[in-house]
Every structure is written in C-alpha cells, then in structure tokens.
Structure 1
Amino acid sequence: MRSQQEWPVTGPAPSDEWLLAGRYRVDAPIGSGGMGEVWRGYDQQLDRRVAVKLMHRTAPVVSAGAEAVALAEAAATDRERFLREIRTTARLEHPGIPAVYDFGVEERTDRIYLIMQLLYGSTLAELLGGEDPLPVPWCAATAAQIAATLVDVHRVDVVHRDIKPSNIMVIHGGLVKLLDFGVAVLQGAAALPRLTQLGRTVGSPPYMSREQVLGNPVGPATDVYGLGCVLHEMLTGRPPFEESPTRSYQDHHVNTPAQSLRAVRPGVPGAIDSLVLAMLAKQPGDRPEAEAVYETLLPFASADDASVGAGPALDRDPRRPFLRPLAPAPRAAARTAAAAAKGSPVPPLDVDEAIAVRERVRELVDDGHLQQAIDVLDDAVARARHIPELALEVKIDLASTLYTADEFSRAAPLLDEILPQLAARDGQADPAVLYLRYVAGVSHAEAGDAEAAIAQFTAFLAHADQVDPLFRDAKYQRGIMLHATGRAAEGLAELESVRPLLAAEYGPDSIHVRALDRRIAHLSRSSDGDVSKGRED
C-alpha cells in the first residue's frame, strides 16, 4: 500500500496501545507531508482499515518578543489550515477524492487527527518510473479522471494548488484519486481573510503555474496548469521544463514557452498536443477549464487500444471506469490487495512468528476484530509461501476466520485449495478435516454454488459420526441443495432421513421436527408445481 505522500515519516513509532478516541488504532507509518503524518490504522468499532492523518507537532517556542509572536501565529495558521483540509475534503463527496470518516483531537499531544479511507494502489510518481512511456489511452484516462474531479472541486470554490504525480493515486479497479488538500485555498468571500497570504509561494516547483511562482492570486486555472504539467510528464517521461544550474523551474514557468509534445513523442495525437499546450499557457485566462479538458480527453480515455498492455497492471488500468463502468475489480486483485500493496519483497515468516501470529489472531477473533485478524493472516500467508507446511497451517486459520466473518466467497475457494493437502496428510476422517469439509459446504452454499456445496457435504457425511450435530445439519443442507439443483426426489429423501435424527435428539413432537415437516411439505408442493395450498412458516 502506497501513501498519499512520498516523504519519510518523522516522530516516534506508536505503541500497540495507541488509540485515538478509544477507537482508532494507529499501526504503521505511511508517509508525511507539509502539515501532517499519515499512518495505517484500524477502526475497532467498525472493524475496518483506515488511514490516520495527524497534524505535525508544534515545535516549542524558545524565543521571545516579536519572533515568538510570529512563530505562534504560524502554528495557529498551520492548525487552521489542517482543520480547513478536514472541512474541505469532507464536503467533497466525489469518487476521485478519498472519503473522510471522522476527525478529532488527540488528548495526549493536542494533535488534530483525520480518519480517512485507506487506499491501496500506486501513486502516479511510482508508475512514472518505468523505462517505456505510458500508453496514450492510459495517460488520457488518468488525466480525464483528475479533470472530472477538478470540475466538482472548482464548483465549490476550492483550488487544490498542488497537482503533481505524488498527489495522484491509481487504485484497484482503475479509479484515480486526487490526494492531499492541505494547501487548497478556498475562493470567494467566505474564505476571507486568506490563510495563505498573497506573496507566499505554495506548491511544488516542477508543476507550479506562473501565478503561483509570482505569488499572485490563484484560481481554477492554476490546477489546470498543474494537470497539464502532469499530463506532459506522463506522455514524455519528464515535466515540461527541466531545471539547470542557470535556469530554475520558477524561471521557466514564468518565461519559457511550452514546447510541443510531438517533438519528444511524435505519436501523440494532435488534439492532445494542442490541449496540453493550451493548459500550459502563461496567462490563466488562456487556459481551458477542467470540464473542457475532460471532454477533449474522453475519446482517447475510452479507446480500447491494445497498447495498454504495455502499461501498468490491468487491475489498475485507469481506462476501466470508461470502458466498463462500475465493473467489479478482478477477483484475484481483490484477494491479494492488502498483501501485494504493502510492497515487495516481504520478509519470510518463520515458525516463531507464525506461532505469535496465530495467538494474535485468536485474541482478535475473541475480541470481535475479524477484519483485522484477516489482515494479519493475509500478510502471514504472503510471507509463508517458502515453507509449504507453515503456509498450509496459516491458510487453515485464514479460511476459518473468513468463515467466521461470513466472507464465504473468499473462504470457499481457499478451502477447496487446502482440503486435499490436509486430507492427504491427516486422513479423510481426521476431525479437523471433517470440520473444514462442513465449513466448505456451508461456504459454497452461502456463495451460491450448490454443486460444490453438495460435493463437500457428501465428503463430510461419508466419514462423520451420526451423533455429531453437524451431521444432521450437513444432511439437511445437502437435501436443500439437491432440491435446488433439480433433484427434488433425492433432496426430499435426504430431508426425510433427518427426521429420525431430530426425533431421537429432541422428541418426535419437538419444534425441530415440526419445522422440518413444514419445510418438507413446502418443498413437496413446489416440486408438484402447486404452492397455493399453503406457505412455509
């Protein structure tokens, strides 16, 4: 998982007991920006992963007089800017912006914190590091998504002011997110007095507009310029201007006209070349609006071009939202997102660590923190691949935890993978094998795969003891599945065979037996095509 920022984190590592508001566990650092640090965290109340952004600690003021006053005012301004980021980001409900869940103040240090959506993906800065240029449709789709986000951002009088590759992330499914509104400035009378004063330069030098460099007022056209710089870099591998010992980025942005993309990459379509030149116009009034940028890029973003195969992983193909709107992400990518996004290579898991992991997982499951337990096991599975026996044990724990968490669509195929290995090692009648057979049957049934459920229940019943309560339930569920797959007679016969087992356990007139009889009667009527004589209670 990559961060919203690229700078190293400073400050002490959190302890296992570091909780914000008694709810948000702060786990591991992700990155740090100008105003705050970002950590990977966990919401214990809702059992989900989150990103935690903490405002930097204010350095103690050791001077006196006017300097002390200035430092105190700067600290207050930074604090207000962080609060403004919270308010700004929270009201921008757009798929191109990370969702804000909560915010508050950490009691121990009086640091403001922001709880946000945790993103799994790669920043554009990371994706630009390859030897080959990115495919044109890929670049157009990425920039078009950012332009669409900017349209909504600008409509609420917000200017981002720091559009750059490290503030753009491509996540699974190809959705592009615009990150870090920490230097955004609100436009209009509601923003006065301005917290970022005229004459103060804010932004990143390779992507700053002329008006930013000069400290002049900024507006939506500033973001269009920054996006033009980013699009130029995507298509050519470098920003529109390069710093030298005699010419700074700032000097270029003020005085040097932008050059045609086709001088560097002749295959760039003329419409995109003209668009980027317009986006990099020196005067803000000469640049197109974000909506016009989107409309120009749209035909290229939705081009079904085979050249995309040369670009980043297809599960992060930014054309996906244009070519297959609302399409689900590939199953394999969804399963491995947490492990793969943490980076590679990962240190292998040894036996002692595996024991500690299993103990930790038991504690988390007992406390009801199932999603966090699954995260721990996902990581352990990725690290245990070098030792087959160790990997098998960790996968067993993962499958059991997924089942407990009702994540049946993940549990079922994992159980199909590990059961043959486990049965070959311990035997078909081993209690652990039998229990996992039953769990696999239920998981397949809940996931809607009746045939696979029947197969697993059948394997379980072949070796299970009839006094085991799971034996009765497996027969019952197999009967239901058989009936559902068109084998009505077999299904009803299986359900009939459950009656004496229930009668022996609870009595022939028990509520269990009566409920089974009603179920059988209902299925019999549906098999005969007549369900009007009654209904199942």
Structure 2
Amino acid sequence: MSARTVINGRYELEALPVAKGGMGEVWFGHDTRLDRQVALKFVRFPEGTPDEELTRRFVRESRIAARLEHPGVPAVYDAGVHDGRPYLVMQRINGISMSDLIAEQGPLPVGWAAAIAAQTCAVLSVAHAASLVHRDLKPGNLMLERDGSVKVLDFGLAMAVDLTDFSKITSTGQVIGTPAYMAPEQILAGLSGPSSDLYALGCTLHEMLCGQPVFAGSTSYTLMNKQVDERPVAVRTLRPEVPPQIDELVLALLEKKPEDRPGGADEVFLRLLPFAVDLRPLPGILNPPAAPSPARMYATVLGRVFATTPPTAPTPPATERPAAPAGGDLAEVRAEAGRLMEQSRYNQAADVLAGAVARAGDAGDDALRLRQEYADALFQSGDYHGAAPVYRQLVDDLTARHGPDTAAVLTCRLRDATCQALLGNTTQALRQLQDLLEDERAVFGADDARVLDLRRQIGLLQLGAGQRQTAERTLTSLLDDLRRLHSADHPAVASTADLLTGLRLPGRR
C-alpha cells in the first residue's frame, strides 16, 4: 500500500505498517469521517491469494470479538474488505508493549508484574465467559498505557473455533500462536482452551519477572519441543526476592497438562491481587502522579463498591437473550433467522430464534427442529456456554420421541461434546466422545466417514490433554484404517500421518 491510501473512502492510512505477523498486519490511520485516530488490521493470506475459508472465519471472529466489551480491550469500530483482504478498524492504543518495556528496563518490579498480569486476568475472565480464547497472548500483545492501565491486543483475530474448524484444525498447516508462549496442547494438537491462555500468561509473567523468556531456542522447532517436554526453571532460582506464592503460581500456570493448571482466570486474579502493590512510577513510561487520570478516578470509586466484603471471584452472568417480538408466523421467524445465518450474523439469528423457541414450547417435531436451529445459532455465534445445555436437553427430548440412534440425537451429542472441548473441559469432552464413538459405530458402521472423523477428534483431544501415548495408539489405529480405505495421497491419510510424525520426532517422549 502506498502513502495516503484511503480505505472505504474513510480511513486514511499512514505510509507504512506498524506491525506484521503470520496472520495479519497492522496499520495506523485516521478516520476522516469522525476525525479520530484508528488502527486497521488486515488479514494476510498464507499463499498470498484470497482464501474464502479464512475470510469466512475472519468475519465470524471479528463479530464475536466486537461483542467483547471491557476497558482492557480495544474497541472494534468497523470491518470491511479492501482489495480482497478483510480488515478490522479498532481503537488506536497509545502506550508501550510489555516486550518493549522489558527490553528497555529488564525485569519489572514484582508489584507491576502482578498488576499487569491481574489486569490481563480481568480481560481473560470476560473473554472466556464469552467462549472466546485469545490463543496468542504474549508480552507484545499487552500494552501499558500512561495511566497504568493495560490493554490486551489482538482479540480481533482470536479464534472462536467452530465445529468444522475443530475437526480440521491441524489440516490447514497454519500455526496459530507464538512458539515461545504456546501451550503444549496447542503445539501437539492445534487445540486451545481457556487454560491455554493461562499457560501463555504464565510465560508472560515469568518474562516480566525475570527479563527473559521461560524457554529459549534458535528455531521454532526447538522452542516447541521445550514447551512440550522441558520443565521450566523456577522464577526464584533466577530472582530470589520474588515471593514464594508468585513463584508457585507461575509454575502452576506452566503445568504441561491443562487440568493441572489453575481453574480459571478468576482464580489467578485473586492469587495475584495481594502482590499488586507498591506501584511506583515507571520513569518515562507513566504520566507523573500529579497528572489527572479519569480511568483511575473511575476505578477508585468502583473499588469501594462492596468494599467491606472480601474480594471473591466474579461470577459470569447467565446468558440472556432478548425475546423476539410477539406475534409473527414461526416459518417467517425461521426464514429470517436463516437469512441472518447466511450472512454470518449468528448472534442476531440466535436472538430472533430465542423468542420463537419460547412461544413454540417443548413438544412436537417442529419445536424440536426450532430448538436445534437455536442451538446451532448459539454455537456459530461462539456462545458455547449457552449452546451446550440446549444441545443436552435436545438429546433427552429427541431420544424420548424418536429413540437414541437417530442422526439428530447423535449430532446433538457431538455438538454438546464439542462445546465442552472448546470450553476447555477436555476430560468431560473425551468421555462424551468415546461414549458417542461406540454408538456411532453401531449405527453407521466402523468405516463410515463420521466415525473416522470422530476417532480423529478423540486423538486430537487426547494429545491436547497430554495423553500422548494414548493419542499415538488412537491415531495409529486410525491411520491403519484410513490407509486400508483410501490412497496414500488422501488428505485424511496425509494429515493423520503428519500428526504421528510430529509425535515420533526425536526429543519427543
């Protein structure tokens, strides 16, 4: 792009991009219509040519990210396509990234490291409650503003994985994440959940406290091997004055198995909070103490709400959706929802269907189909917390009406389990998928494509859970059957073989 390029007749870009990565590039610009500074993030296509699937995912993810409202997340203003490349228009953040701050000043004071990590937890809490996982949390994506507040960048390209992505996530060849901050399950299986973000936070907190990454290596391959196999050095070994509780927390965040890490961002926040003290000015980084800070003024008052009660982990609000206007034929409502789904406006489609579900009741095939469409809209909108119980109830009601072996029952069971996997409940998801596998074999036959794909998903989840020997057995058996059914160059054969090759590389136990 040349100097003074104008996007959509409105956004005037600066001469050069400010950042480039494997999946996108960021430009600063000016919104000429509203006369304000903005940042634009463009998708970068891996092959240099437009990719319909990547564009579809980008549109979906940008709409999910735009619903993420929190002071610690840059606002999403607009989205569009320019020269075949999708882009997001976001709030421009003026501050310093943690990577630059560490490069300038070395290890941070313990209080500031705890405060920055705690603010990040507040953002992760609201994101994870909305079923949104960042997947590339790192010092470069944490921006410290001059009033001391932290912004978590790059949620605009965070992946809210859908059902198709879940089963094909490792077949695209795209690595999502930065090796120095990637959890083992991301490296081994390409799967992420809330606990993967906590692992990345542990890497980031370690780096803020020690001034160096948890693991170092000259290649991405070396770093990935260390993330999977090597135990981290304790923070107090490198910096003895760090409190033992912080040292223990970092090691807990860096556990190799997701279920061994802390239970969630809320828990980590509460463990960090006592150490977010003595936040003295950072020379050249923060405004002087005498400078007014509307953000701190606002936060000071909020801090006094229920101030006599010890702090507890916040409880995410229950998912509530406004009912659709009363009246109107159900067929018209479903047609309207279908039109919205075709436009990837899944959240709006779910809102439309919510009212229709309430009016239709629970009985009858039409009501059951309507509820399944509602669950699908919730799922596609990224609301896995909301979709899972709807699918679960559908399984019970469909089974009572039509028996346990219908395609609709099996589909709802798969999607409920997928919700659990995407929410990070790997053990529960595996149990549900393994039960489903036996029933699908009985209904469809062992060589059915649905059964084979389910076996692959189970192998991926086993990898993500750190069950590497079990996963190897699952995937080896699957590869034998795929080779019996398909030619050597079949995509399923090649991708499964690649997974096993990665497991068996030297240095992998």
TM-score by length of 1: 0.50
Q: Secondary structure at the match of 2:27?
A: strand
1:25 aligns with 2:1: no
Q: How many residues align?
A: 294
Which of these residues, 200, 203, 214, is aligned with residue 226 of structure 1?
200
Counterpart in the other structure of 1:296: 271
Partner of 2:52: 76
How far 1:34 sits from its partner (Å)?
A: 2.4
Structure 2: distance between partners of 1:20 and 1:209? 37
The farther-off stretch of 95-104 and 130-139 is 130-139
Q: Confirm or deny that 1:52 pairs with 2:40.
A: yes
Offset at 1:13?
2.0
1:38 aligns with 2:14: no
Q: Is the 8 A contact 1:30 1:40 kept in 2?
A: yes
1:194 aligns with 2:166: yes
Report the equivalent of 1:147: 121
Matches within 5 A, 1:66-465: 75-106=51-82, 109-181=83-155, 184-186=158-160, 191-194=163-166, 197-198=169-170, 201-243=175-217, 248-288=222-262, 289-301=264-276, 303-304=277-278, 308-309=280-281, 313-315=285-287, 325-326=298-299
Residue type matched to 1:197 in 2? I
Distance 1:102 1:312, change over 3 A: same
Cα distance 1:321–1:213, how it changes in 2: closer, same or farther (>3 A)?
farther
State which structure, 1 or 2, has the greater radius of gyration over its C-alpha atoms.
1
Q: Which letter maps to 1:233?
A: E
**Equivalents in 2 of 1:298, 1:264: separation in Å?**
23
Residues 44 and 268 (structure 1), Cα distance of their counterparts in 2 relative to 1, 3 Å cut: same
Task: Provide closer, same or farther for how the CA distance between residues 293 and 44 of structure 1 changes in structure 2, counting only shifts above 3 A.
Answer: same
Please point out which of 2, 18, 23 is paired with 1:13: 2
Alpha-carbon spacing, 1:217–1:31, altered in 2? closer, same or farther (3 Å): closer
Paired letter, 1:32: K
Specify the code of the residue in structure 2 equivalent to 1:41. Answer: G
Instruction: Give a deviation string over 1:72-122, Cα, whole Å, max 9, x none.
Output: 7xx22332232233113201111111101111223xx23222211011111
User: C-alpha offsets along residues 331-381 of structure 1, whole Å, 9 cap, x if unaligned?
Assistant: xxxxxxxxxxxxxxxxxxxxxxxxxxxxxxxxxxxxxxxxxxxxxxxxxxx
Deviations 1:494-524 (A, max 9, x none): xxxxxxxxxxxxxxxxxxxxxxxxxxxxxxx
CA distance in 1, matches of 2:109, 2:184: 29
Paired with 1:298 and 1:322, the residues of 2 have a C-alpha distance of 19
**2: distance between equivalents of 1:34 and 1:102?**
22
Question: Is the 2:98–2:142 contact (alpha carbons within 8 Å) kept by the matching residues of 1?
Answer: yes
Instruction: Note the 1:474-493 alignment, pairs <5 A.
Output: none
| Counterpart code for 1:37 | E
Give the AA of the match of 1:290.
A
The one-letter amino acid of 1:198's match is: T
In structure 1, how many angstroms separate the alpha carbons of the residues matched to 2:256 and 2:155?
24
Residue 61 of structure 2 contacts residue 159 of structure 2 at CA under 8 Å; is this kept in 1? no
Gaps of 5+ in 1: 1-11, 62-71, 329-537
- Distance in structure 1 (CA, Å) of the matches to 2:196 and 2:288: 28
CA 245–213 in structure 1, closer or farther in 2 if over 3 Å, else same:
closer
* Residue pair 2:98, 2:139 contacting (<8 A) in 1 also: yes
Task: For 2:187 and 2:237, locate their aligned partners in 1 and report how far apart those are by CA, in whole Å.
Answer: 26
Q: CA deviation at 1:205?
A: 1.1
Q: Distance in 1 between matches of 2:295 and 2:10?
A: 38
Measure how far apart 1:244 and its partner are. Answer: 6.0
Superimposed CA distance per residue, residues 181-226 of structure 1 (whole angstroms, 9 cap, x where no aligned partner): 3653325xx5444386136542111111111111253211000000
Change (3 A) 1:259 1:82: same
SS of 1:198's equivalent in the other structure is coil
Aligned-pair CA distance for 1:321? 9.8
Aligned partner of 2:273: which letter? L
2-structure distance, mates of 1:104, 1:177: 24
Which amino acid counterpart does residue 13 of structure 1 have in structure 2? Answer: S
Question: Could you say which residue in structure 2 is the equivalent of 1:351?
Answer: none
Structure 1 residues 139 and 47, CA gap change in structure 2 (3 angstroms): same
In the alignment, is the contact (CA less than 8 A) between 2:143 and 2:150 conserved in 1?
Answer: yes
Question: What secondary structure is seen at the aligned counterpart in 2 of 1:159?
Answer: coil
Aligned-residue identity in percent: 43
Separation in 1 of the partners of 2:223 and 2:295? Answer: 35
- Whether the 8 Å CA contact 2:179–2:220 is kept in 1: the answer is no
Runs of 4+ in structure 1 off by over 3 angstroms are 56-61, 190-196, 198-201, 244-247, 308-312, 320-328
Closer, same or farther in 2 for the Cα pair 1:247/1:78, shift >3 Å?
A: closer
One-letter code aligned to 1:168: L
What runs of 5+ residues in structure 2 fail to find an aligned partner?
A: 302-509
Equivalent AA in structure 2 for residue 47 of structure 1: D
Contact 1:262/1:268, CA 8 A, preserved across alignment: yes
Work out whether residues 134 and 311 of structure 1, in 8 Å CA contact, stay in contact via their aligned partners in 2: no
Render the CA deviation track for 1:360-405: whole Å, top value 9, x for unaligned: xxxxxxxxxxxxxxxxxxxxxxxxxxxxxxxxxxxxxxxxxxxxxx
Which structure has more relative contact order (CA 8 Å, sep 6+)? It is 2
Cα 1:322–1:298 change in 2 (3 A) is: farther
Q: Counterpart amino acid of 2:43?
A: M
* C-alpha RMSD over aligned residues: 2.9
